[in-house]
């Protein structure tokens, strides 16, 4: 059959108007077997027919494209596309989405070569084409602060921002990405604070991808360290200019000239030595040369002529995400282009959302977020992955359609992966013979920490012990986590979170081991010791009781006093205290005072009310839970 004569015959019955748009296979005309139709024994000719259609044009289609959209791109009637799908044995409606391979094959049968891109790429391309030069406006530079652990990155940001973040970090170490806006010389600068420890390489790399300028913090008394070099490599890979802040110059042992020599050895030649690297000697503690640092950052940023169009639909990146019991899924988002407004519909990966509320870096509600502004977004249907791109979509129906399509794909991939891995794992264990496996369930306060812990702990695997993370997620340890651990004989690792009350009871009943930590080094050390059988329990934590905060009072010279109701057990004056907010640990310390009415008391038992103030901590809120416990030393097991 000649190609030119074959083409009109496809769907020819539909063109006459005498047949329905979708004909069931049993009602096909007698001549149908000679056209492309897989349901008929003569269908082997189909591939040849596809090849015979000449390619006359190229089109770009997005993932999860609906039949209606595809027909518009092919400049064909929707019912002709549906007929073509029916001939392939696929029953579909006009609003149904197609997978990429099917869409490409259908387009080819209409003489078009299709290229598949993600929906975000398609929207971005359409918007960029529509952008006019006069719509572009200067935007605030996005600056990522990088450097070795404990070199003063967060302290430097504190000084610029005039707040105190470092004091609230566990062990004084930043363990997630924070984003802040600072005003310098009448202009805004957005800072992203990335963790410095080597375990947070993934998060630091993510920070470098969204940034315009990298501020490399190097301690004048310590010099260039391994993570300093790693930060330099990330900045170079992202092709981002580097401004070096030589911190801690107020220390007697500070040697800024030695730091400059070390930087020069790594191809970062300071400007005063004839190079192109801007270096500023600062002291975060003494607030020295901070204005000069801001001036240099703005100067380096101005050379890039950073611009964005605030009139277009917003797009950007998720820096961090978590599940908040009171507010639901919350994402910290950096708007990179356009303006994000309340009421906008958007997609983040496979998650649909509609902006319900926006909060700036200081927790204040805002109505919109222009380019380069970091905001907390409420209104997502689930917790997104940190690092995902978000894209506002004006068509709400389309946004939901894309999200559902991606979720279906993820479910298919997960099911296939589970089935495949089970068989492969069985074979691998039979082949290896003596390989032991340590299954883990990881729960953390934010998604970034979940990723880091998963990556770090899996790397601890050896030839004899394989570590397998069977589940990881953000949020409190729940009953379902304990049930999963019980079924798979796994250990639960909680990082900056606590188990729910029912989960604790279930864990005791099922003898599930739950390990709780607030500093990542302790997690890795404990797992290492457990792997070699050297884990010696020298302290055992015994829970005394729990109290719910029902009211707070501000008392002069005392601070905040929490009016509490003891839910179970007791709270004693000498107990260790853990303050939980949505089952996330926000404070650990001791009781400052314990009162029943106006009297100081040694303990308060279940079912009674009392007033509790905490040592060096006043940010107690209604709904918080105070957990009292004691640590008892136990004898180490005898070595066999």
* Residue extents of the structural domains in the chain: 3-117, 140-305, 308-401, 434-535, 540-633
Cβ neighbours of residue 231 closer than 8 Å, sequence gap 6 or more: 146, 147, 148, 196, 204, 214, 216
User: What is the 3 state secondary structure string of 602-632?
Assistant: CEEECCCEEEEEECCECCCCCCCEEEEEEEE
Domain 540-633 has CATH 3.10.180.10: no
Same topology, domains 308-401 and 540-633? Answer is: yes
Whose tokens are 């394989």? That residue is 466
Q: C-alpha distances in angstroms, 565 versus 18, 125, 582, 617, 628? A: 77, 58, 17, 19, 13
pLDDT at position 289 is 85
For residue 563, name the pLDDT band (cuts at 50, 70, 90): very high
pLDDT at position 537 is 54
- pLDDT average, residue stretch 220-231: 81
Q: How far apart are CA 119 and CA 62, in angstroms?
A: 5
**What does the radius of gyration of the chain's CA atoms come to, in whole angstroms?**
30
Q: And the tokens for 322?
A: 């978590």
The per-residue pLDDT for range 194-205, each reduced to its tens digit, is 664 444 555 555
The per-residue pLDDT for range 302-354, each reduced to its tens digit, is 888 888 888 888 888 888 888 888 888 999 999 988 899 999 999 888 889 99
pLDDT at position 358 is 92
User: What is the 3 state secondary structure string of 557-619?
Assistant: CCEEEEEEEEEEEEEECCCEEEEEECCEEEEEEEEEEEEECCEECCEEECCCEEEEEECCECC
Q: How far apart are CA 96 and CA 101, in angstroms?
A: 15
Q: How far apart are CA 598 and CA 538, in angstroms?
A: 39
- pLDDT average, residue stretch 171-192: 71
Q: To which CATH superfamily is domain 434-535 assigned? A: Translation initiation factor IF- 2, domain 3 (3.40.50.10050)
- Average pLDDT along the chain: 77
Q: Quick check: 478 pLDDT over 50?
A: yes
pLDDT at position 177 is 53
- pLDDT average, residue stretch 596-619: 88
For residue 6, name the pLDDT band (cuts at 50, 70, 90): very low
- pLDDT average, residue stretch 67-83: 86
The CATH number of 308-401 is: 2.40.30.10
Residue 367 burial (CB count, 10 A) = 9
The per-residue pLDDT for range 443-458, each reduced to its tens digit, is 998 888 898 898 888 8
Q: How far apart are CA 327 and CA 307, in angstroms?
A: 33
Q: Which of 42-51, 170-179, 442-451 has the lowest mean pLDDT?
A: 42-51
Q: How far apart are CA 30 and CA 575, in angstroms?
A: 87
Q: Quick check: 609 pLDDT over 50?
A: yes
Q: How far apart are CA 289 and CA 331, in angstroms?
A: 34
pLDDT at position 178 is 73
Domain 140-305 classification at class level: alpha beta
């Amino acid at each position: 059959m000649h190609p030119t004569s074959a083409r009109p015959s496809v769907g020819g019955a539909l063109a006459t108007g005498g047949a329905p748009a979708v004909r069931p296979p049993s009602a096909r005309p007698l001549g149908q077997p000679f056209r492309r139709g897989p349901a008929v024994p003569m269908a082997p000719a189909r591939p040849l027919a596809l090849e015979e259609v000449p390619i006359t044009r190229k089109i770009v289609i997005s993932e999860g494209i609906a039949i209606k959209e595809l027909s518009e791109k092919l400049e064909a009637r929707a019912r002709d596309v549906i007929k073509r799908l029916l001939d392939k044995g696929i029953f579909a409606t006009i609003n149904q989405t197609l997978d990429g391979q099917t869409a490409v094959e259908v387009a080819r049968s209409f003489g078009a070569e299709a290229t598949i891109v993600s929906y975000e790429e398609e929207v971005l391309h359409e918007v960029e084409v529509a952008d006019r030069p006069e719509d572009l406006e200067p935007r605030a530079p996005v600056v990522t602060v990088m450097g070795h652990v404990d070199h003063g990155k967060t302290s430097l940001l504190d000084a610029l921002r005039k707040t105190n973040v470092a004091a609230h970090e566990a062990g004084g170490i930043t363990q997630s990405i924070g984003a802040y806006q600072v005003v310098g010389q009448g202009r805004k600068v957005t800072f992203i604070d990335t963790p410095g420890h080597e375990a947070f390489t993934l998060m630091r790399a993510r920070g470098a991808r969204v940034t315009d300028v990298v501020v490399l913090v190097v301690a004048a008394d310590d010099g260039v360290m391994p993570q300093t070099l790693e930060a330099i490599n990330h900045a170079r890979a992202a092709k981002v200019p580097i401004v070096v802040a030589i911190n801690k110059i107020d220390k007697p042992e500070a040697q800024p000239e030695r730091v400059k020599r070390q930087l020069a050895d790594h191809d970062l030649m300071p400007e005063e030595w004839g190079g192109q690297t801007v270096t500023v000697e600062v002291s975060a503690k003494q607030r020295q040369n901070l204005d000069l640092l801001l001036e240099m950052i703005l100067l380096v940023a101005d050379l890039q002529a950073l611009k964005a169009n605030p009139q277009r639909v917003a797009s950007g990146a998720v820096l961090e995400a978590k599940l908040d019991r009171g507010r639901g899924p919350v994402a910290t988002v950096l708007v990179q282009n356009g303006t994000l407004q309340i009421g906008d519909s958007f997609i983040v990966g496979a998650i649909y959302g509609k902006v319900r509320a926006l909060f700036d870096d200081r927790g204040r509600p805002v109505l919109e977020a222009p380019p380069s502004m970091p905001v907390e977004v409420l209104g997502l249907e689930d917790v997104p992955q940190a690092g995902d791109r978000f894209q506002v979509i004006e068509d709400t129906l389309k946004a939901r359609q894309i999200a559902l399509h991606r979720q279906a794909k993820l479910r298919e991939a997960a099911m296939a992966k589970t089935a495949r891995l089970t068989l492969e794992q069985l074979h691998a264990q039979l082949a290896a013979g003596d390989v032991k496996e340590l299954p883990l369930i990881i729960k953390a306060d934010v998604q970034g920490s979940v990723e880091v812990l998963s990556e770090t702990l899996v790397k601890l695997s050896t030839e004899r012990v394989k570590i397998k993370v069977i589940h990881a997620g953000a949020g409190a340890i729940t009953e379902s986590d304990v049930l999963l651990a019980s079924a798979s004989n796994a250990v639960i690792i909680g990082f900056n979170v606590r188990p729910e009350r029912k989960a604790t009871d279930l864990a005791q009943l099922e003898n599930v081991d739950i390990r709780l930590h607030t500093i990542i080094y302790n997690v890795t050390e404990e797992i290492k010791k457990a792997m070699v059988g050297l884990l010696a329990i020298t302290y055992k934590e015994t829970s005394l009781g729990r109290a719910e905060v029902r009211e707070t009072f501000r008392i002069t010279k005392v601070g905040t006093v929490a009016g509490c109701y003891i839910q179970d057990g007791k709270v004693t004056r000498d107990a260790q205290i853990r303050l939980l907010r949505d089952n996330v640990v926000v404070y650990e310390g001791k009781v400052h005072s314990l009162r029943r009415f106006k009297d100081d008391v040694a303990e308060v038992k279940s079912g009674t009310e009392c007033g509790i103030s905490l040592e060096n901590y006043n940010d107690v809120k209604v709904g918080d839970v105070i957990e009292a416990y004691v640590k008892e030393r136990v004898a180490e097991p005898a070595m066999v």
